[in-house]
Every structure is written in structure tokens, then in C-alpha cells.
Amino acid sequence: MQPVTLKEQTESIRSFKSTIRKCETALAQMNEKRSNTVLLEKRLNALNIGLQMLEAVWHRKLLPYDQEKLAEVREVLAGMLLSIEKAYANQKEGSPQKTLLERRIKSLELAIQAIDDHASKNFKSHDTF
């Protein structure tokens, strides 16, 4: 994984936690209205695992997830990244929303990179050449 400053780590973790809280609030509201929550639940799960992934990399901890689960999480986070990048393109320069989206983009990119790095290390350790 690329070197990340302590400030970037803190901002990324803060961004993930903020996004998780936002999703939890939306999920509670959707449950009250008896709306379909499958997509939001998937995203919330992926965000929690993405956050755990970053914390594991930066604090040298092990994760209890197999490659299949991490691949699923990566796919969901990548989909979220595309949506956020589209929203980012429509924001005014210097706006608070644009700054928020910049941080979300950076944190998602770092989580995806951490998953990719984990997958390549795991693949190499299983390599029998």
C-alpha cells in the first residue's frame, strides 16, 4: 500500500465513520417506511469492512475475512466510488460538499488498494511455482 500520512489516515477513518453513520441513519428511516434496504445494507456492511481493512493495515492487525468476502466488499466499494466521483464532478469548486466528497473518494480508494494488496499477498503465499 502506498505510504499514507497520519493526517490522511485520520481523515480517511473519520470519513468512513461519517459515511457509516449516514448510512445507519438512512437505514433506520427506510426500515420505518418498510422500504427495500438490501442495497443499503450491502453498502453499510462493505463500509464497515473497508474501515476495518484500513485500521488493520495501519495498525498491523489480522482480519477474519476470506478472499471471497473481501472481493465482494471490493466490488461494492468500487461501485460506491463511481457514484461519489459522479457527484463530485457536479460540485462547485471550494464547496464544503466537494471537500467532503474528496475525502470519501480518498478513503474508498485507500480501502480498495488495501483489499487489492491483501489479495495479492494472499495469492503469492498460495503460489506453488
37 contacts: CB under 8 Å, gap ≥ 6: 27, 30, 31
Would you tell me the crossing angle of helices 96-125 and 6-32 to the nearest 10 degrees? 100
54 neighbors 107 (Cβ within 8 angstroms)? yes
Q: What share of the chain has pLDDT > 70, as a percent?
A: 94
- Compute how many other C-beta atoms are within 10 angstroms of the C-beta atom of residue 27: 16
For 35-81, the pLDDT digits (tens) are 899 999 999 999 999 999 999 999 988 888 999 999 999 999 999 99
Closest by CA to 17, choosing from 115, 100, 112, 117, is 100
Question: Does pTM surpass 0.75?
Answer: yes
